[in-house]
Amino acid sequence: MDAPGHFVEGARRVPDLLPEELLAPAAVIDISRRAASDPDAAVEPRDLQRYERRYGRIPRGALVLMDSGWAAKVNDNAAFKNADAGGTYHFPGFGLDAVEWLLDPPRHPRHRVDTLSLDPGNSATFDVHKLLLGKDRYGIENVANLPALRRKGAYVSVGVIPWEEGSGGPCRVLAYG
């Protein structure tokens, strides 16, 4: 988990998160087909719009989960990071335009990905982190088993250790419904 204070000086840290922020409806955005041929794929506004056409509006406060299929690589460190010869990682994440779309009008989303970072692996500026965490939202990385989760209608609970002054750390994400 990355709490807002992970990237934003003076922002809330893990112990400051409220219990109601850690339980929410899930909206699973599947970009696995695109990510299979483009490791730098990102969730885009069109993916969110497609989701809403099929399943209805993404609920306020939803945990918006990116299912890129990347979690299948987790047991192969080199494949999971997918570094090129220069050391740049190549794996999917959220696009900045998609995060802006979710924040206006404010749906107060939290973001989850099945990769190492909320930003695509080739990001050097971490704009998604800065925007999302700067809007007092948290994010979770390395989420497992997303293909098994219903795209709409599930609820997700996030268990996190409230490390004193912790800006992030390990957590357990459970889904039901």
- pLDDT at position 174: 94
**Tally of structural domains, the chain:** 1
Q: Is residue 165 part of a domain?
A: no
How many of the other CB atoms lie within 10 Å of CB of 52? 12
Q: What is the pLDDT of residue 102?
A: 92
Supply the CATH number for residue 122's domain.
3.50.30.50
> Sheet holding 110-113: strands in order across?
139-140, 110-113, 63-67, 23-30, 152-160, 171-176
Evaluate whether residue 170 is within a structural domain: no
- Is beta strand 63-67 parallel, antiparallel or unpaired with respect to 139-140? unpaired
Q: Residue 13: its pLDDT value, please? A: 95
For residue 149, what is the DSSP state?
S
Identify the pLDDT of residue 51: 97
State the pLDDT at residue 125: 96
- Judge whether 59 lies within some domain: yes
pLDDT at 165: 83
Q: Does residue 105 have a cis peptide bond before it, meaning omega lies within 30 degrees of 0?
A: yes
Q: Does the pTM of the predicted model rise above 0.95?
A: no
Domain that holds residue 14: 4-157
Amino acid found at 54: R
Mean pLDDT of the chain: 94
Task: Output the CA torsion 98→131→149→68 (10° steps).
Answer: 60
Asked if residue 62 lies in contact with residue 25, where contact means CB atoms within 8 angstroms, the answer is yes
Examine residue 63 and state whether it is found in any structural domain, yes or no.
yes
Backbone angles phi, psi at 152, to 5 degrees: -140, 150
The pLDDT score that the predictor gives to residue 162 is 86
User: pLDDT tens across 36-84, in order?
Assistant: 999 999 999 999 999 999 999 999 889 999 999 999 999 999 999 999 9
Nearest Cα to 64, choosing from 12, 97, 107? 107
Q: Which of 87, 47, 93 is nearest to 70 (CA)?
A: 93
Q: Are 153 and 5 in contact (CB under 8 A)?
A: no
Question: Which residues in the chain come in under a pLDDT of 50?
Answer: none
pLDDT (0 to 100) of residue 111? 82
The answer to whether residue 168 is domain-embedded is no
State residue 105's pLDDT score: 77
